[in-house]
């Protein structure tokens, strides 16, 4: 029995010696840094508790415009806050939105309680009411489905819109490819025909959303090849705008760089078949024109409207009389063509031929 105890004591002393040696070795190796716990082996932060869906609730946010219609563009934004919790932002058709139709946002997994929801941004092409609204809504547990989610509704207004037309007053044509500057008071922006800022796809017809400001100015900017703005340059047009309304600036007149027009009739009435030749006095270049046909830009009427290559003096001569009529007297006229101002060639009146 004594031998057993002595053996136990020796083993205990040996373990103590080894432990002291280990401490000494550690001290010898790590004498240049603090000895402490290894971060790599530190316990991970406990995972957030998962709340079962039947204990959480859903929040449905919808927006309607002044016509009680859902917005046609996404991007409406709201802040959602619960007393004692951090406020967060939800955006229409963003990842946190569990409802796909534009203008309707479904937020799921909310702890039950009272929430304050505020408008923070309008979707593209719309503006928030002034002031933007905040509403309080109670979210109940077990309401995560679209059919039973707590519902709150807000109003938005279509941004003011401004329309105008690049318009040739001589023949009533809408002319494509012009550009204008638009200014809501914060500085001019170039609006090119059918570029992204032009909301009307029709060539020569413009529509612009005015996101800020109470008035809008439209000014000439650039003309396509062969065209110009009237000289002296057409000025800007400014009109007041209001949310939910479309304001027409009207027709912004445009011209061919060089052109001429005149009238042809048979006894003062519309005719067919008349032909003309226009000759430049200096270059001797000619243009053949058939009334209501070749090279005539006018709509069917008694007017002939011709695009020309350069300024200068021209002779305009009737070469073929209208059907059933005699040659005009005199058959030729002289006109002076200037930049961006159609030259008027007078009236070619033929008398009926009586058989």
Q: Using DSSP, state whether 205 is helix, strand or coil.
A: strand
pLDDT in tens, 254-310: 999 999 999 999 988 999 999 999 999 999 999 999 999 999 999 888 999 999 999
| pTM score of the predicted model | 0.72
Q: Mind giving me the DSSP string for 54-115?
A: GGSEEEEEEEE-TTS---SS---EEEEEETTS--EEEETTSTT----STTEEEEEEEPSEEE
Domains of the chain, each with CATH number or no CATH: 53-157 (2.60.40.10), 161-256 (2.60.40.1120), 259-350 (2.60.40.10)
Q: Using DSSP, state whether 41 is helix, strand or coil.
A: helix
Q: Using DSSP, state whether 53 is helix, strand or coil.
A: helix
- In the predicted structure, residue 220 carries a pLDDT above the cut 90: yes
Q: Mind giving me the DSSP string for 265-311?
A: EETTB--S--EEEEEETTT--EEEEETTSTT--S-SSSEEEEE-SS-
Q: What is the pLDDT of residue 251?
A: 95
- In the predicted structure, residue 139 carries a pLDDT above the cut 80: yes
User: Residue 180: which of 245, 167, 232 has the closest Cα?
Assistant: 167
- The mean pLDDT value for 247-253 works out to 95
Query: H or E stretch including 35?
Result: none
């Amino acid at each position: 029995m004594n031998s057993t105890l002595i053996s136990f004591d020796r083993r205990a002393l040996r373990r103590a010696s080894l432990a002291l040696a280990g401490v000494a070795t550690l001290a010898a190796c790590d004498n240049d840094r603090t000895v402490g716990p290894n971060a790599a082996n530190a316990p991970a932060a406990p995972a957030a508790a998962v709340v079962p869906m039947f204990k959480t609730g859903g929040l449905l946010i919808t927006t309607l415009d002044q016509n009680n219609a859902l917005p046609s563009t996404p991007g409406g934004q709201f802040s959602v806050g619960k007393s004692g919790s951090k406020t967060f932002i939800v955006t229409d058709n963003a990842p946190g939105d569990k409802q796909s139709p534009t203008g309707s946002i479904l937020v799921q997994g909310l702890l039950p309680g009272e929430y304050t929801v505020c408008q923070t941004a309008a979707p593209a092409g719309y503006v928030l009411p002034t002031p933007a609204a905040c509403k309080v809504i109670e979210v109940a547990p077990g309401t995560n489905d679209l059919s039973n989610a707590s519902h709150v509704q807000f109003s938005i207004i279509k941004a003011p819109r401004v329309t105008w037309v690049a318009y040739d007053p001589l023949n009533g044509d809408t002319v494509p490819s012009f550009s204008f500057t638009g200014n809501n008071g914060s500085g001019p922006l170039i609006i090119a025909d059918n570029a992204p800022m032009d909301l009307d796809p029709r060539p020569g017809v413009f529509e612009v959303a005015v996101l800020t400001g109470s008035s809008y100015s439209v000014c000439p900017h650039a003309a396509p090849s062969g065209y110009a703005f009237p000289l002296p340059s057409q000025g800007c047009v400014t009109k007041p705008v209001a949310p939910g309304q479309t304001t027409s600036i009207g027709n912004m007149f445009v011209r061919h760089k060089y052109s001429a027009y005149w009238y042809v009739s048979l006894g003062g009435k519309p005719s067919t078949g008349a032909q003309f030749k226009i000759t430049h006095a200096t270059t001797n270049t000619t243009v053949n024109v058939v009334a209501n046909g070749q090279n005539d830009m006018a709509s069917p009427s008694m007017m002939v409207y011709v695009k020309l290559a350069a300024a200068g003096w021209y002779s305009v001569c009737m070469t073929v009389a209208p059907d059933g009529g005699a040659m005009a007297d005199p058959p030729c006229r002289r006109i002076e063509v200037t930049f961006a101002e159609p030259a008027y060639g007078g009236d070619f009146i033929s008398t009926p031929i009586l058989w």
